[in-house]
Amino acid sequence: MLGFVLRRLGFAVITLFAVLTLVFFVIRILPGDPTLVILGDQASAQSIALLRERMGLDQPVWLQYLQFLGGALRGDWGTSLVSGRPVIQEVLNVLPHTLELTFVALVLGVVLGLPAGIWAAVNRNRIPDYVTRIVSLLGLSAPAFVSGIVLLLVFSIMLRWFPVISGGQGTTLLDRARDLALPAINLALIMAAYVTRVTRSSMLEVLSQDYVRTAMAKGAPARAVVWRHALRNCLIPVVTVVGLYLGILIGNSVLTEIVFNRPGLGKLIVGALNQRDYTMLQGMMVIYTLIVVLVNLLTDLVYGFIDPRVQYK
């Protein structure tokens, strides 16, 4: 077990290192001198030289690379070109909003998707199966901004049940919940679609196993067979996939935050793109890498705990 954990940890570190290296060189290819972006076209040669020195751009590339790596690991990601505040501070300010949204959507998605998938599997090729298949395919076909706009049109603009702008600033719990509801539902529906499909196919696979047939043959009630014997085994692929789709969820949270005008990493990255805030973009790449690597590591470890066979690989 320890060897397995260490191997996964090693892979996570290698991934992090590889992506950080990539980010460093990617930022160097970006068109335009960052000092010109900060100071504008009218800047004098002296002030440019001064700023280059201050930003460390006059040093050899390998030294810049080491400083970048050290800084990234220590949490020193430079200062935003637009606001002048430390990038890490800006990121940490909005990170809770994104995490809150993603976490609630994840839980909601599993709560909706798991029973739906099981329901479809036990009713294979009957009406519940067809309905869940079509609905889940619709869910995973809809880009997050499309489902978000439809939800916004129906529930905020036509029915006026929810605020048009989900500020996420509510002080009372009820306010927060109202702000969170539509964006979370939007993300959760996509998550539920994926979970439903994986649960269904995994359950079908398990239900065709010999031990399920034996349980049925000895006269165990179908309900008990599904929930007690089959469910635990069908969860293994579901967990992997939930981890895998957490990444998709993070991607979709960008679109959701824009549609519902909710603070978070998504709005931050779009703002940085529009204002050509390169240091901020660099910080965003680092934070997304960190999140993705962490999520994958956790998924691998959970997978190892659920499925004892993994250890022997």
Nearest alpha carbon to residue 247 among 198, 297, 203: 297
Kindly state the smallest distance separating residue 15's Cβ from another protein, in Å: 5
Q: Does 94 sit near another protein (CB under 8 A)?
A: no
30 or 107, CB closer to another protein? 30
Q: Does 268 sit near another protein (CB under 8 A)?
A: no
Tell me how far apart the alpha carbons of residues 118 and 115 are, in angstroms, rounded to a whole number. 5
Q: Does 6 sit near another protein (CB under 8 A)?
A: no
User: Three-state DSSP class for 310?
Assistant: helix
- C-alpha distances out from residue 160 to 62, 164, 176, 267, Å: 56, 8, 17, 24
Pick from 157, 165, 177, 222: which binds another protein (CB under 8 A)? 157
Question: Contact region for another protein (CB under 8 A) — 73-81, 167-175, 213-221, 267-275?
Answer: 267-275
The pair of three-digit structure tokens given for residue 247, joined into one six-digit string: 């990444």
Q: Does 88 sit near another protein (CB under 8 A)?
A: no
Tell me how far apart the alpha carbons of residues 307 and 4 are, in angstroms, rounded to a whole number. 12
- C-alpha distances out from residue 115 to 131, 180, 182, 193, 212, Å: 14, 24, 22, 12, 19
Pick from 259, 268, 280, 286: which binds another protein (CB under 8 A)? 259
Tell me how far apart the alpha carbons of residues 99 and 250 are, in angstroms, rounded to a whole number. 9
Kindly state the smallest distance separating residue 64's Cβ from another protein, in Å: 18
Q: Does 258 sit near another protein (CB under 8 A)?
A: yes
User: Which residues partner with 86 through β-bridges?
Assistant: 79
Q: Does 14 sit near another protein (CB under 8 A)?
A: yes
137 or 177, CB closer to another protein? 137
The pair of three-digit structure tokens given for residue 200, joined into one six-digit string: 């269904």
Give how far the C-alpha of residue 116 lies from the chain's centroid of Cα atoms, to the nearest Å.
23
Nearest alpha carbon to residue 266 among 250, 279, 282: 250
CB burial readout 249-274, b (16+ within 10 A) else e: bbebbbbbbbbbebbbbbbbbeebee
Tell me how far apart the alpha carbons of residues 186 and 193 are, in angstroms, rounded to a whole number. 11
Kindly state the smallest distance separating residue 149's Cβ from another protein, in Å: 5
239 or 293, CB closer to another protein? 293
Question: Contact region for another protein (CB under 8 A) — 60-68, 72-80, 225-233, 242-250?
Answer: 242-250
Q: Does 285 sit near another protein (CB under 8 A)?
A: yes
Kindly state the smallest distance separating residue 196's Cβ from another protein, in Å: 9
Name the site residues for another protein (rule: CB under 8 A).
Answer: 11, 14-15, 18-19, 26, 29-31, 124-125, 133-134, 137-138, 140-146, 149-150, 152-153, 157, 164, 197-198, 200-201, 204-205, 247-248, 250-252, 254-255, 258-259, 269-270, 273-274, 281, 285, 288, 292-293, 296
